[in-house]
Amino acid sequence: MSWPFWSIPAIRSPGSPQAALAEVYDSRGTIDDWGKFGVRVPNSPGNRIHLTGRQVTSGTHDDFQEVVLGERRDFKHNMESRDVSNSGEVVDLIAGNPCAIGYIGMAFESPSVKRLKNSWESGTELVEPTIENVMNRRYPISRPLLMYSNGMPQGEVKRYLAWILSDAGQCRVPKSGFARARPVTCPEK
The rounded distance, in Å, linking the Cα atoms of 173 and 46 is 43
- Please give the angle made by the CA atoms of 107, 15 and 4, to the nearest 5 degrees: 30
Do 30 and 22 contact (CB within 8 A), yes or no?
no
Do 109 and 90 contact (CB within 8 A), yes or no?
no
The residue type of 86 is N
Closest CA to 87 of 114, 58, 62: 58
67-117 pLDDT tens trace: 888 876 788 877 778 888 888 898 888 888 888 888 888 888 888 888 888
Helix segments in the chain, DSSP class H: 18-25, 59-64, 87-95, 131-135, 155-165, 167-172
Instruction: Indicate the CATH number for domain 2-143.
Output: 3.40.190.10
Percent of the chain scored above 90 by pLDDT? 11
Q: How many CB atoms lie within 10 A of CB 140?
A: 19
What Rg value do the Cα atoms of the chain yield, rounded? 18
pLDDT score at 72: 67
38-76 pLDDT tens trace: 878 877 778 888 888 888 888 888 888 888 888 767 888
Sign of torsion over alpha carbons 78, 79, 84, 87: negative
Task: Please determine, for residue 10, whether its predicted confidence score (pLDDT) is greater than 70.
Answer: no
Strands (E) across the chain are located at 2-11, 50-54, 82-84, 100-105, 114-115, 142-146
